Amino acid sequence: MQCSRRGCNRPAVIYQRYSGLHLCEKHFIEYIERKVKKELRRQMGVESGDRIAVALSGGKDSSALIYMLNKFFHDRRDLQFVAIAVDEGIKGFRKLTLDNAEKLTNKLNMKLFTYSFAHEFGFTLDDIVSRGFEQAPCTFCGVLRRRVIERKAKELGSTKVFTAHNLDDEVQTIMINYIRGDIERLRRLNMHRIDEFVPRIKPLRSIPEKEIAVYAYLVGLPLLTAHCPYAKLSFRFSVKRMLNEFEMRHPGTKYSLLRGYEHLMELLPPSTEHQRRLLTCERCGEASASKLCKVCEIIARMKMH
């Protein structure tokens, strides 16, 4: 099949069921990069003097993001980029992606700072799982990862944090909060700046996960086949399967969910909860919605078990 672009006779490398387009390698790469640039402009963008911390796991999404950022901005001397990697302590999995992250940042001549749950909190994710808590491992992992990235981004003097959340990640989170009826979390999902936290930007939020994988392959980034062994235990995994099934039967479902969510946020009255002044955790001193932050709650539970 040939590329759908007018005047292009090159063979297509991908078919987008939601758009009906067949795209060749050249036009597909241009399409992805154009959407990412548009998303950067739509969010807070990149400003002169920014020191940007990129959350880099070494997987396809964050690798593609850091590759694009280097491609877009490597000539900008008024910007600084650093990569932050987190070792959660998942035996047989995380070392593979961290090795990949190190190779990529070396190739791009970008500084990589790696931190671990073991060093920051005194235990690993495997340790948490071994305690047999009722909640899925992802619940703990998300809270702890965010803390490490936020704290280290501040220590490094970062003005923004870029994460590699893609369209699939975004609509999964939207659907999870719809199901739970959590309107405040839905509101916060669309906010880039919240009180004392470093602003967060998600340049890949409008790109489907599968298309990021194709992009990564086409530009020569290594595609790791390893997956987190705990992912299938989460509620998110069930939502992911449901949305993938809907997308297969009804192409464009994920984009429709994202557009519907954004329209809903425009119609809702301004939130009052996120405008309340955050408290300070009485144990660690970090900003928190309650007297004891979620991280310190996890640490306390680990000490009791």
What does the pLDDT average to over 169-181?
Answer: 96
Q: How far is CA 237 from CA 131, 168, 251, 290, in A?
A: 22, 11, 20, 29
What does the block give as tokens for 283? 């144990």
pTM for this predicted structure? 0.93
Q: What is the DSSP string of 175-211?
A: HHHHHHT-HHHHHHHT-S--TTSPPEE-TTTTS-HHH
Query: Roughly what angle, to the nearest 10 degrees, separates helices 235-249 and 253-267?
Result: 110
The more confident residue out of 265 and 64 is 64
pLDDT in tens, 182-205: 888 888 887 666 667 899 999 999
Is a pLDDT exceeding 70 seen at residue 215?
yes
Q: What is the DSSP string of 245-271?
A: HHHHHSTTHHHHHHHHHHHHHHHSPPP
Cα separation of 63 and 66, whole Å?
Answer: 5
What does the block give as tokens for 164? 């590699």
The more confident residue out of 196 and 10 is 10
CA dihedral 156, 288, 230, 218 (to 10 degrees): -40
Whether the CB-CB separation of 260 and 267 falls below 8 Å is answered with no
Picking from 285, 291, 289, 260, the residue whose alpha carbon sits closest to that of residue 275 is 289
pLDDT of residue 58: 93
What does the pLDDT average to over 104-132?
Answer: 96
pLDDT in tens, 95-109: 889 999 999 999 999
- Binned at pLDDT 50, 70 and 90, residue 279 comes out as confident
- Strand, helix or coil at 52? strand
Domain residue ranges of the chain, discontinuous segments joined by +: 40-274
What does the pLDDT average to over 275-284?
Answer: 79
Q: What is the DSSP string of 56-121?
A: --SSHHHHHHHHHHHHHHTT-TT-EEEEEEEE---TTTHHHHHHHHHHHHHHHT-EEEEEEHHHHH
pLDDT of residue 60: 95
pLDDT in tens, 20-50: 999 999 999 999 999 999 999 998 878 999 9
CATH ID of 40-274, from 3.40.190.10, 3.40.50.300, 1.10.645.10, 3.40.50.620: 3.40.50.620
Angle at 37 between CA 36 and CA 39, to 5 degrees: 65
Cα separation of 192 and 201, whole Å?
Answer: 6
pLDDT of residue 76: 94
Please, which residues bridge with residue 297 across strands? none
